[in-house]
Amino acid sequence: MAESERRRGTAAHEHVRVAVIGSGFGGIGAAVRLRREGVTDFVVLERAGAVGGTWRDNSYPGCACDVPSHLYSFSFAPNPDWPRAFSGQEHIREYLERVADTFRLRPHIRLDTEVLRASWDTERLLWELETSRGALTADVVVSATGPLSDPRTPDIPGLTSFPGKVFHSARWDHGYDLRGKRVAMVGTGASAIQIVPEIQRDVRRLTLFQRTPPWVLPRADRAITGVERWLHRQLPFTTYARRGLLWGIRELQVQAFTKRPNELGLVESLARRNMARAIKDPALRAKLTPTYRIGCKRILLSNSYYPALAQPHVDVVASGLAEVRGSTAVAADGTEAEVDAIIFGTGFHVTDMPIADRVVGDDGRTLMETWKDGMKSLRGASAAGFPNFLTVIGPNTGLGNSSMILMIESQLNYLADYLRQLDVLGGRAALVARPSAVNAWTRRVQDRMKRTVWNTGGCTSWYLDDHGVNTTIWPGTTTEFRAATRRVDLNEYEVLRPPARRTAPGSGRKAEVTA
């Protein structure tokens, strides 16, 4: 195909320089960064009918961030008007909509466009994307489909014949009235502990199925005063100072999580006191006290969770939901509860992200097949065998105690430099991570992981994959990750060029490697 034709695409077949998948913080951030780098030939493909990702899909009662808003927002789009220290879902969603408008991203965003398949063309050195709204090709694909975007509902025997209502926290059914109902809440993670205090006010009976209790610390939430907001608007540096302080505190905490988990004992006593203030019944306190080191699972923040559990119409079953018999929810320990509705707060497909099954690399294997022994990518971004394919929030880029937006922005720095490197190379070129570089990076990450609380704290968490390997969390500070993703090191990549001439049938289709 001639270069001009390739750029223009055909009527049925559009070509772009960059295709971004997803419009949460990752995809919207990538779009802003592309525009700032002078790249205008890009699209953002979003399967839903609006932008917002996590903050569009999670509309359950009480949904809010658990990192202060001034840190849980883009550094390039400070918001002086955050209403609370920890703002609610609607405000965060509005913020993302505003960022899309302010940075004039709308013409690039294709809503209701689900990416069904992305396959690397080894001869033309481009990605062929099949979407629910037709096909297109792209030089570079940025996958920002989110680590927590596809809800996971456990396969519970008998669930399909349950006569009542069933839904997942990330797909809240606002048409269903919980007032006066007997409700089973399954799970005790970040979403469940926000939901429980809200719905217990309305329901007749609430039964919480708890496989493992979380550690819960008080939440220093409050309304941000009019004076503070006025100050942030008049003197923008005060917003930056506030953000800087919030960031610095969390950077200082990282050592305890990554190198000295024993120091976290002090934090455990704070959490125990938080529980004791609300839970007077020693038997209930025993059920709610974790047996693993604090921090091993995500530390949760709430002032209302324990008071809600102390209510007489709330039961805590210290066992997971194992079976549903008619309208009876049965726990693994045999406890039974008659219920009208079952709400799953059981998390997401994290280490088996669905997009991986749809992306086909240079050897015809999907990312899911390539990652069957565990997810691994160079600097959380590039998987071996997947040229010009970058993930935002890829393997080992999650955080246990700070804002994911910091990690997303680091990955966007890497994306920007990646595109610059391709420009410098000139002509048709692609970069593919060397397997040796991917392995070296993974070894480095996993070596550091050994001492961390996530690996040594004595818990099973969603940070670990089916093999018990932590492929989710970054075992360092956000500053270290920022430094590691500032530049693309070309020594870690092979440069691909289109084959000089067509190879004979059966002799392989791989592009020439020129690095």
Ligand X SMILES: Cc1cc2nc3c(=O)[nH]c(=O)nc-3n(C[C@H](O)[C@H](O)[C@H](O)COP(=O)(O)OP(=O)(O)OC[C@H]3O[C@@H](n4cnc5c(N)ncnc54)[C@H](O)[C@@H]3O)c2cc1C
Total binding residues toward ligand X, as defined by CB under 6 A: 33
What are the tokens at 445? 């990450």
Residues 139-178, one symbol each (x = binds ligand X by CB under 6 A, - = not), give -----xxx-xx-----------------------------
Q: Give the 3-state DSSP-derived string for 226-260, with helices as H, strands as E and coil as C.
A: HHHHHHHHHCHHHHHHHHHHHHHHHHHHHHHHHCC
Backbone angles phi, psi at 240, to 5 degrees: -65, -40
Cβ distance to ligand X smaller for residue 53 or 164? 53
Among 309, 317, 324, 393, binds ligand X (CB under 6 A): 393
Q: What is the largest CA-CA distance in the chain?
A: 78
Shortest reach from residue 92's CB to ligand X, in Å: 8
> Cβ 401 to ligand X, closest distance in Å?
9
77-136: contacts with ligand X (CB under 6 A): 114-115
- According to the binding rule CB under 6 A, does residue 391 interact with ligand X? no
Residue 63 CB, nearest distance to ligand X (Å)? 6
Closest CB 22 distance from ligand X, rounded Å: 3
Choose between 29 and 213: whose C-beta lies nearer to ligand X: 29
Of 23 and 351, CB closest to ligand X: 23
| 404 sits near ligand X (criterion: CB under 6 A) | yes
| Phi/psi-derived region of residue 319, left when phi > 0, alpha when psi is between -120 and 50, beta in every other case | beta
- Angle, CA 170 vertex, CA 168 and CA 175 arms, to 5°: 70
Write down the least CB distance from residue 397 to ligand X, Å: 10
Strands 341-344 and 336-338: unpaired
Q: How far is the CB of 382 from ligand X (least distance, A)?
A: 17
Q: Mask of contacts with ligand X, 68-87, x by CB under 6 A?
A: ----x---------------
Nearer to ligand X by Cβ, of 26 and 361: the residue is: 26
Pick from 19, 67, 473, 488: which binds ligand X (CB under 6 A)? 67
With 0-12 / 13-18 / 19 or more C-beta atoms within 10 angstroms meaning exposed / middle / buried, residue 424 is: exposed
**Interface with ligand X (CB under 6 A), residue from 15, 18, 26, 359:** 26
The whole-angstrom separation of Cα 349 and Cα 154 is 11
Q: List the one residue from 20, 25, 299, 377 that touches ligand X (CB under 6 A).
A: 25
Residue found under tokens 């993703």? 485
Q: Which is nearer to ligand X, 53 or 380 (CB)?
A: 53
* H or E, element range at 207: strand 205-209
Binding segment for ligand X among 47-55, 203-211, 240-248, 383-391 (CB under 6 A)? 47-55
Ranges of H-type helices in 398-461: 404-425, 435-449, 453-456
Pair of tokens at residue 142 = 């940025």
Is the Cβ–Cβ distance between 125 and 428 less than 8 Å? yes
Q: Contacting ligand X (CB under 6 A), which of 20, 22, 151, 309? A: 22
Task: State yes or no: residue 47 binds ligand X (CB under 6 A).
Answer: yes
Selection from 277, 325, 407 nearest residue 156 by Cα? 325
**103/493 with CB nearer ligand X:** 103
Number of Cβ within a 10 Å radius of residue 96? 24
Backbone angles phi, psi at 171, to 5 degrees: -135, 55
At CA 374, angle to CA 371 and CA 379, rounded to 5? 85
Specify the amino acid at residue 279. I
What does the block give as tokens for 181?
Answer: 């109902």
Which C-beta is closer to ligand X: that of 75 or that of 327? 75
**What six digits make up the tokens of 438?**
């991917």
Closer to ligand X by CB, 25 or 42: give it.
25
Q: Which of 16, 20, 39, 46 binds ligand X (CB under 6 A)?
A: 46
Query: Which residues here bind ligand X, judged by CB under 6 A?
Result: 21-27, 45-48, 53-54, 58, 63, 65-67, 72, 114-115, 144-146, 148-149, 190-191, 355, 392-393, 403-404
